[in-house]
Amino acid sequence: MAIAVLIAGVLLYQCLLFMMVLWYRVNAPRMTPVMEAQLQTLRVQAPDAEINYQWVAYDKISNNLKRAVIASEDANFLSHDGIEWAAIRQAWEYNRQQAAQGSDRRRGGSTISQQLAKNLFLSNSRSYFRKGQELILTYMIEAAMSKERILELYLNIAQWGTHTFGAQAAAEHYYRGTAAQLTAPQAARLAAMLPNPSYYDKRRDSPYLQSRTRTISARLRQVPLP
């Protein structure tokens, strides 16, 4: 009986999550769990701290940034069904080797759809349960949303600095412009920051960041858009 109740509870929870996915298919998020967690962290040191976040529509975001993020984060974004298992296995093996060597370096194998699932519903914590829920949510998102909507949501809620979330806030913070005005070099630099935005927010002249920006810039013209 207890097992049946547990299973029913899990299924109900997944149904509620799917309803939220359907909601976000047509509505913009006001705040995400990742934003809330970052805000709590900031307010430990500064009780009146705020995050910068402003939603902008897909057509108000530069195509340069769309292409740069796909080139940097998920080259097969338009063709996969949300998850690339080979990339996950490669990342797992790399991380295992780094851990064995005592290194803190880690590599992610997540697609844009997976990162959206994490950012929109979950957190930056690491656990097998969270990863499992992320995979389920990813399939929900891919089933319910177009690739264009997935990219639109991702670009609007991705973290781009200590206080900065979304393409519009990033454009204002780094370039004093709008998301629509981002040039190819600017977009490539923002995309290069994504794996560790808070770190690069404070280290904008990092040699790695400069090198990664050049690599992404060279790929931009080859990237198709949804």
What CA–CA distance (Å, rounded) separates 78 from 56? Answer: 22
Closest CA to 69 of 132, 157, 7: 157
pTM for this entry: 0.90
pLDDT 10s digit of each residue in the chain, 226 long?
A: 778 777 877 888 889 999 999 999 999 999 999 999 999 999 998 899 999 999 999 999 999 999 999 999 999 999 998 888 877 777 677 667 766 776 555 556 689 999 999 999 987 777 778 888 999 999 999 999 999 999 999 999 999 999 999 999 999 999 999 999 999 999 999 999 998 888 888 888 889 899 999 999 999 989 999 9
Residue 166 tokens, joined: 């979304």
How many Cα atoms are found within 13 Å in the side-chain-facing hemisphere of 68? 26
CA 134/CA 130 separation, integer angstroms: 6
Match domain 2-222 to its CATH number in 3.10.400.10, 2.60.40.1080, 1.10.3810.10, 3.10.510.20: 1.10.3810.10
* CB burial readout 144-182, b (16+ within 10 A) else e: ebebebbbbbbbbbbbbbbbbbbbbbbbbbbbeebbbeb
Domain assignments of the chain as residue spans, ordered by start: 2-222
